[in-house]
Amino acid sequence: MKTHRAAVEVRDFRHTLDGTVGFVPTMGALHDGHLFLVEESRRACEHTLVSIYVNPTQFNNPNDLTNYPDTLDNDLEVLKNAGVAAVFLPTYEVLYPDDFAYEVDEKVFSRELCGAHRAGHFTGVLTVVMKLLNLIRPDQAYFGEKDYQQLKLVRGMAEAFFLQTEIVGCPTMREPDGLAMSSRNLNLSRGDRQLAPVFNELLQCEDDDEEVVARLAESGFTVDYVRTIEGRRFGAVLMGNEDSPVRLIDNVSIG
């Protein structure tokens, strides 16, 4: 498995590859949900590349960025065993030589749900994904449905800018108790980890959105939002102390 840190390195490596290329962008602290994306890419494509980069431009809370889990050595070993062709490990200076002077912005859906509570979040997401897709030029790029709003926005961006990459959505991977797999789960205290599955349970219940918000609050969650759009219920909650809360998101299809 190759590792590249410079933009020119990963671009040159991409030019050496014959056949289809799949790409999985990540922020590290890999779990089985990430590995499922890698498996889907390897199943469909002849070569799979993965990026690991904790993108500061999408964090509206500095403490969230500081506390984001870092398991790089383990991540690289896991990806090597998974048969990944190369890993891209850029720095801010590599991806933002313009110091974020140029950005990609979506003006409608990015202002809803998570975007309504995290100013500038999706501008950072879309900008870094555009940069990564332009560098790697994959045939397919894989994103999990846990971040369904992100998936929809990235897919819309690819269509709007006529990108050649197909954006592939993959089902949410869950723990045995129903909690959506997330790197941020590593930051949950023991007590919060025991409570966290209630989030998914209540999203799936037959109550209306307002009742779900009330039941989540009664259970001990700080609720950002619960909202149903086109047959899918989206939710975001905070757990832990006020200074460094752990933010969990999830969504479920409801009848």
| pTM more than 0.95 | yes
Whether the per-residue pLDDT at 255 is higher than 80: the answer is: no
Superfamily of domain covering 183-253: Pantoate-beta-alanine ligase, C-terminal domain (3.30.1300.10)
Whether the per-residue pLDDT at 92 is higher than 80: the answer is: yes
**What pLDDT, on a 0 to 100 scale, did the predictor assign at position 77?**
98
Whether the per-residue pLDDT at 142 is higher than 90: the answer is: yes
Q: Rounded CA gap, 51 and 173, in Å? A: 20
CATH domain 2-170 topology: Rossmann fold (3.40.50)
Given 4, 15, 31, 34, the catalytic residue: 34
Active site (annotated) includes residue 34: yes
pLDDT-derived band at 70 (thresholds 50, 70, 90) equals very high
**What pLDDT, on a 0 to 100 scale, did the predictor assign at position 242?**
82
Whether the per-residue pLDDT at 204 is higher than 80: the answer is: yes
Q: Rounded CA gap, 250 and 28, in Å? A: 19
Task: Report the 10 Å Cβ neighbour count for 196.
Answer: 23
Residue intervals in the chain for CATH 3.40.50.620? 2-170
pLDDT tens figures, 7-31: 999 999 999 999 999 999 999 999 9
Residue (of 122, 154, 123, 160) closest to 138 by Cα position: 154
